[in-house]
Structure 1
Amino acid sequence: MPVATFPLGPLQTNSYLIHADNRAVAVDVGGQPAPMLDYLAEYRLSLTAICLTHRHFDHLYGVAELAAATRAPVYAPAGDDSLAETESGRGGIWGFPQVTPFESLPMPTGETSFGGMGCRVLETPGHTPGGVSLYFPAESLVFTGDALFYRSMGRTDFPGGDHATLLRSINDALFALPPETVVYPGHGPATTIGDERKNNPFCGEFRA
């Protein structure tokens, strides 16, 4: 399953398109989605869903525009609904622009599918109260949002963040995945579950 990465917006948020056959799914949309729309047109793909790993402003800037252009439904974690009207959710914090409002449906949890691709929605709170990671077992890849990064983990000093909860999420949900699983994070380069188990500097905390 091809994965196209687009660092978008003021914080260069990794925004993704994954696709099989002629159907695509977007994961987070951190800025103006013109490159994503160009990609969809070039490969003649129909966008079937926009999936959000969490409701922080830097992952949302292009959601409204992409949804309007493609008519794809937006799925957002229900556990993050409390952030929708905060500065960390709608923008404005630290002088960043506000997010254009958009309609969304509750993100399912557990086994589901998007665009005909089997997906396991993992609950990985801690960076936000309702953050999720999207695991595609047939393709051995997971989109972790801002829960797990290359050699790092998400910050927990925003409203609703909790350090101990995020450690449990990483250890119990993400580090339980097969070691060859490719990790596509919300910022920075891709990595693998096995590599992070061995080399992430927070590993001592994960195993505590």
Structure 2
Amino acid sequence: MEIKVFPLGPLQTNCYVLAGDKEAVAIDPGGDPTPVLDYLKSNGLTLTHVLNTHLHFDHTAGNRRLSDETGAPVICSKKDLYLLESELGQGGTFGLPPIEEYNTTQIEPGEHEFAGFKCTVFHTPGHSSGSLTFYFPEAEAAFVGDLIFYRSIGRTDFPGGDLDILKKAVKDNIFTLPDNTTLYPGHGPETTSDDEKNHNPFFSEF
């Protein structure tokens, strides 16, 4: 698996593309997906899925175009669909334009396969009610959205957010992963499960 990162949109959301020999999956296209489409074309890759860790607009702005141009379904949690009825999901807030509407396919936590890669999907709420983490054990990689960052955590003051629930989700699902698991967040640099378990100030009591 090759992992490429494309910071997209006005908030520079990390869009990740996981590529195999012929197929790929994209995670959280938060802006104009032209760089992603160019990468897929130049490498002869077929996009099989667009995965959303959660449905805040800065993670979904490129969903419609990326799905339309590749035929890949947009995957999310049904517990985040409430966001599609709000500015947090539709955009148009903070002086930013609204995003294009898109269709979704909802999945449940558990074992899945995307682009030929085995993936365990965890329900990791706290930043939003339906936030998901996509863990690819073969790549020792977890895509955590805005759940946890390098030395920080996601905001919990939006509708559906809850600090205690977020911290429990991290402890139960992220800190129990193998220590060398790379965490790929929605914004900023990557980190590891072990590094955050030992150094993230929000879990100093852990």
Query: Which residue does the alignment assign to 1:16?
Result: 16
Q: Distance in 1 between matches of 2:115 and 2:35?
A: 20
* 1:6-62 Cα distance to aligned partner (Å, 9 max, x none): 000010000010011210000010100000011001111000000000010100111
TM-score using structure 1 length: 0.97
Aligned residue for 2:176? 176
- Structure 2 Cα separation of the partners of residues 164 and 35 of structure 1: 37
Q: Which residue of 2 aligns with 1:6?
A: 6
Structure 2: how far apart are the matches of 1:23 and 1:169? 31
Amino acid at match of 1:189: P
Q: Render the CA deviation track for 1:37-88: whole Å, top value 9, x for unaligned.
A: 1100111100000000001010011110101110111101111011111011
Q: Counterpart in 1 of 2:147?
A: 147
Q: Secondary structure at the match of 1:84?
A: helix
Cα distance in structure 2, aligned partners of 1:187 and 1:66: 20
| Structure 2 equivalent of residue 102 of structure 1 | 102
Between the aligned partners of 2:39 and 2:24, the Cα distance in structure 1 is 10
Of 104-113 and 1-10, the range deviating more from structure 2: 104-113
In structure 2, the residue corresponding to 1:108 is in which secondary structure? coil
Q: Which amino acid aligns with 1:180?
A: N
Match of 2:55 in 1: 55
Distance 1:161 1:50 in 2: 24
Look up the match of 1:138.
138
SS at match of 1:55: coil
Name the structure 1 match of 2:81: 81
Deviation at 1:134, TM superposition (A): 0.2
CA distance in 1, matches of 2:40, 2:139: 20
Q: What are the equivalent positions in structure 2 for 1:151-162 lying under 5 Å apart?
A: 151-162=151-162
In the alignment, what sits opposite 1:67?
Answer: 67
Checking the alignment, whether the CA contact within 8 Å between 2:198 and 2:204 is kept in structure 1 is no
Q: Which segments of 5 or more consecutive residues in structure 1 lack a partner in the other structure? A: none
Partner of 1:92: 92
Partner secondary structure for residue 196 of structure 2: helix
For the Cα contact (< 8 Å) 2:15–2:186, is it kept in 1? yes
The secondary structure found in structure 1 opposite 2:159 is coil
Q: How far has the Cα of 1:204 moved from its partner?
A: 2.1
Q: 2:181 & 2:204 partners in 1: Cα distance?
A: 21
* Aligned-partner residue type, residue 169 of structure 2: S
Q: Which residue of 2 aligns with 1:37?
A: 37
Q: Which amino acid aligns with 2:4?
A: A
Instruction: State the superposition RMSD in angstroms.
Output: 0.8
Q: Which runs of 4+ in 1 moved over 2 A?
A: none
- CA shift, 1:191, in A, is 0.6
Aligned residues: 206
